[in-house]
Amino acid sequence: MAKKKVYSGIARFYDVFDLPFEYGRYRPIRQHMFSGLEGRILDAGVGTGRNIPFYPEGTEVTGIDLSKAMLGRAVKRRERLQKRVDLLEMDVLRTSFLDDHFDAAIATFLFCVLEPEDQLPALKELSRITKPGGEIRILEYAYSRDPVKRFLMHLWAPWVSWIYGAAFDRNTEQYVPRAGLCVAEFRFLFQDIIKLLILRHR
């Protein structure tokens, strides 16, 4: 699988590549992904475990990722932080969880990586395994409406695609109704380029 190969290749360098963005953009907004959540939580596309420090106390978190190499980094971070989280190698398009298993699901930049044809299947799977009344929270990029920022993002896009297999224009919200979900909240957490989607069952 193409994405699995990409992330297996960059796993050892991923946190280094991402370091300026992690401390300049991501860390201040990761807490919003988990604020107010309780019970069982799925961290879909857990990667190297950057979300682990922000898991709410008392919750039961399961992190899944397609890349065994990325998960290896997450395991080391879990041990260093002494956090309780199950880390499993699994494809978000075809998980092994029962229906309505989780109280909430989180996807931090996962949908930027998924190809357009995989967006709807991934949303349907998250909908299936999240309880009615639960939330699915998605953090992803969008092209800025500011002409200068948008131009710079277009210049940056080929590198992002080559290194991460990701894109700034997935527009995941367009697939939401067909997944039996609705957008309960939409807001930008960093300028007008990083957005939070909170989805619920219709």
CATH number at 148 reads 3.40.50.150
Contact 111, 172 (CB under 8 A): yes
Which range marks the domain in which residue 153 is found?
2-201
pLDDT at 23 (0 to 100) = 79
pLDDT at 10 (0 to 100) = 76
**CB neighbour burial string for 58-84, b if at least 16 within 10 angstroms, e if fewer:** ebebbbbbbbebbbbbbeebbeeeeee
What's the rounded Cα separation, in Å, for the pair 22 and 19? 5
DSSP H helical ranges for the chain:
2-21, 27-34, 68-81, 110-113, 116-129, 147-164
* CA-angle at 85, arms to 81 and 88, nearest 5°: 120
pTM for this model (two decimals): 0.92
Which H or E run contains 197?
strand 194-201
Q: What is the mean pLDDT of the chain?
A: 93
Per-residue pLDDT tens over the stretch 11-39: 777 777 777 788 788 988 888 889 999 99
**Where is mean pLDDT largest: 2-11, 30-39, 118-127?**
118-127
Per-residue pLDDT tens over the stretch 148-158: 999 999 999 99
Domain count across the chain: 1
pLDDT at 1 (0 to 100) = 59
Instruction: Give the confidence band of 182 by pLDDT, cuts at 50, 70, 90.
Output: very high
pLDDT at 115 (0 to 100) = 93
Whether the per-residue pLDDT at 198 is higher than 90: the answer is yes
**CA–CA distances in Å: residue 141 to residues 91, 118, 120, 197:** 21, 17, 17, 11
